[in-house]
Structure 1
Amino acid sequence: MTVDLHHLDEGPRDAPPLVLSGSLGSTLEMWRPQVAALTERFRVIRVDHRGHGGSAVPPGPYRIADLAGDVLALLDRLGLDRVAWCGLSLGGMVGMHLASEAPERISRLTLCCTTAHFPDPTPWEERIAAVSSGGTGPLAQGVVARWFTPGWAAAHADVVAEAEAMVAGTPDDGYLACCQAIEAWDHRDRLGAISAPTLVIAGSGDLATPVEPHARTLAEGIPGARLEVLDAAHLASVEAADEVTALIAEISTP
């Protein structure tokens, strides 16, 4: 059963549609740095994954296919046959699934700080255990410490505090079930089926999904994909906001 995703639909109704989908532990507010510029050129739909933000929290575990099914149901409700997609981390995984399994729905694809697979499941097993026993709150500071490079974080304490509150505010059950989806995620053998023009954005300081092997695997596995490496950590859309916004606009323009 699909979830009626909480979303914001902004920008001109007749502009090309662009969906922004965020990371584990985020809400659609993580895309605030992109909204003003992108809504000048696109109809921008920001979404909360199931288990996050204003979306419902069905019983877990989830799979990436479940999250992708939620998106397809939303696009149908909005009357959108085909959209450009930009997903960061978990949102990128959803975008990969859509682009390979429902290619007629994705016109252009931006994959930011994400992966087709985590070879070592141990960190996810440990995080699942931690959330199961103590919830998301105690994890927030450690999670966000990997979202930004140390120097940037030190200079933007207010942004870091907002990010920590966003993670801590994620429903425990939703966060846990999405961790289980990521733990089981392996899309490497389907990358070649992605036909949409694809941009892979990576952060040189990203400890969660480093350029090697994660971004490189995507760039080499998706036909014709282009790789851009920015001076940022995992939440490059915030730390390198202007560069990421420009790249999204470039690849998403029909």
Structure 2
Amino acid sequence: MTHTGNDTAGKTCEVDGIGMHYRTDGDRAQPCLILSNSLGTDLSMWDAQAAVLAGDFFVVRYDTRGHGQSASGSAPFGIERLGLDVVALLDHLDIARAAFCGISMGGLTGQWLGIHQAQRLTQLVLANTAARIGGAAPWQLRAEQVRRDGMAAVAGSAAARWFTPQFIARETDTVARMVATLRDQDAGGYAACCEALAQADLCASVGMITVPTLVIAGEHDPVTTLDDARWLQQRVAGSRLASVCASHISNVEAAQAFTAQLRDFLVL
């Protein structure tokens, strides 16, 4: 299968019985970089990074299962399934190894890949994430809430979790667009990912990661804190820690600084 140039419309591949939506930017002959979105977003969250990095990488973005244009399926799933979805996408594209950058939930997916599928990775970037994000009970409650009341139940408070007050005041269009994306998500798919996060605890196994790893933290992130990032960096041998002046969705709030850290690490 040959993929060259920018795939602006996106494509869908079948993974484990569901359709997974993805997009490619850049030349297939370049090294591959996969970008994995956070909970409640879609692959468009990576627009700024793809625009810069497509000159040096074959950038593959995808909507995590249950998000954007990717279906969730009817069966419950965990972090293993989210990791295997990435493996299946690599197989679909006939790519043996790729660099992987995931943010928040995508960072948990990256940790699972680093532990269980290291042979498919060249480098690993874990942004605004933790080996365990929150506790099981709050995730289960959020899943129940959106199944019962829909996405409006969480969309109203999302901006304050994602961005600093200064960014919210300054970049009203960007914030409104991302909140609208969250509100438009499929409630069942979002809830299923909440349930996966409730069970995802990689604290005992992240020390097994041997892939060259960069951990990126948002200095003002209240969800996955700078201390969470330090904890990860201290347990992944040889990993590096970088921080940017942002809250939880740091690749959007501090796009230029985030992209510079990502690029500097990947081109080492």
- TM-score range (shorter-chain normalised) is over 0.9
For structure 2, list consecutive stretches of 5 or more residues without a partner in the other structure.
Answer: 1-15
Which of 226, 229, 240 does residue 243 from structure 2 map onto? 229
For structure 1, list consecutive stretches of 5 or more residues without a partner in the other structure.
Answer: none
Q: Distance in 1 between matches of 2:105 and 2:133?
A: 12
Q: Quick check: 2:136–2:197 contact (8 Å CA) kept in 1?
A: no
Q: Distance in 1 between matches of 2:42 and 2:247?
A: 18
- 1:200 equivalent in alignment to 2:215: yes
SS at match of 1:84: strand
Task: Give how far 1:238 is off.
Answer: 0.5
Structure 1 residue identity aligned to 2:92: R
Q: Look up the match of 2:158.
A: 143
Task: Give how far 1:69 is off.
Answer: 1.1
Q: Distance in 2 between matches of 1:134 and 1:175?
A: 13
Q: Look up the match of 1:73.
A: 88
| Structure with more contact order per residue of length (Cα contacts < 8 Å, sep ≥ 6) | 1
Q: Distance in 1 between matches of 2:134 and 2:257?
A: 30
Which of 24, 46, 53 does residue 39 from structure 2 map onto? 24
Q: Distance in 2 between matches of 1:120 and 1:100?
A: 21
Task: Give how far 1:148 is off.
Answer: 0.5
Q: Look up the match of 1:250.
A: 264
- 1:241 equivalent in alignment to 2:255: yes
Which of 119, 130, 136 does residue 121 from structure 1 map onto? 136
Q: Quick check: 2:38–2:103 contact (8 Å CA) kept in 1?
A: yes
User: Which range moves more in the overlay, 55-64 or 70-79?
Assistant: 55-64
Which of 53, 78, 91 does residue 38 from structure 1 map onto? 53
Q: Look up the match of 1:218.
A: 232
Q: Quick check: 2:220–2:247 contact (8 Å CA) kept in 1?
A: yes
Q: Distance in 1 between matches of 2:147 and 2:72?
A: 15
Which of 26, 32, 47 does residue 11 from structure 1 map onto? 26
Q: Quick check: 2:17–2:73 contact (8 Å CA) kept in 1?
A: no
User: Which range moves more in the overlay, 173-182 or 216-225?
Assistant: 216-225
Q: Look up the match of 1:111.
A: 126
Q: Distance in 1 between matches of 2:18 and 2:122?
A: 23
Task: Give how far 1:125 is off.
Answer: 2.7
User: Which range moves more in the overlay, 45-54 or 136-145?
Assistant: 136-145
RMSD: 1.3
Query: What's the TM-score once normalised by structure 1's chain length?
Result: 0.96
Query: What's the TM-score once normalised by structure 2's chain length?
Result: 0.91
Which of 161, 174, 180 does residue 189 from structure 2 map onto? 174
Task: Give how far 1:3 is off.
Answer: 3.6
Q: Describe the shift of the 1:119–1:149 C-alpha distance in structure 2 as closer, same or farther (beyond 3 A).
A: closer
Structure 2 residue identity aligned to 1:239: E
Q: Look up the match of 2:5.
A: none
Q: % of aligned pairs identical? A: 39
Q: Quick check: 2:159–2:168 contact (8 Å CA) kept in 1?
A: no
Aligned pairs, how many? Answer: 253
Q: Quick check: 1:2–1:73 contact (8 Å CA) kept in 2?
A: no
Structure 2 residue identity aligned to 1:243: A
Task: Give how far 1:145 is off.
Answer: 1.7
SS at match of 2:73: coil
Which of 45, 66, 69 does residue 54 from structure 1 map onto? 69
- 1:163 equivalent in alignment to 2:178: yes
Task: Give how far 1:60 is off.
Answer: 4.0
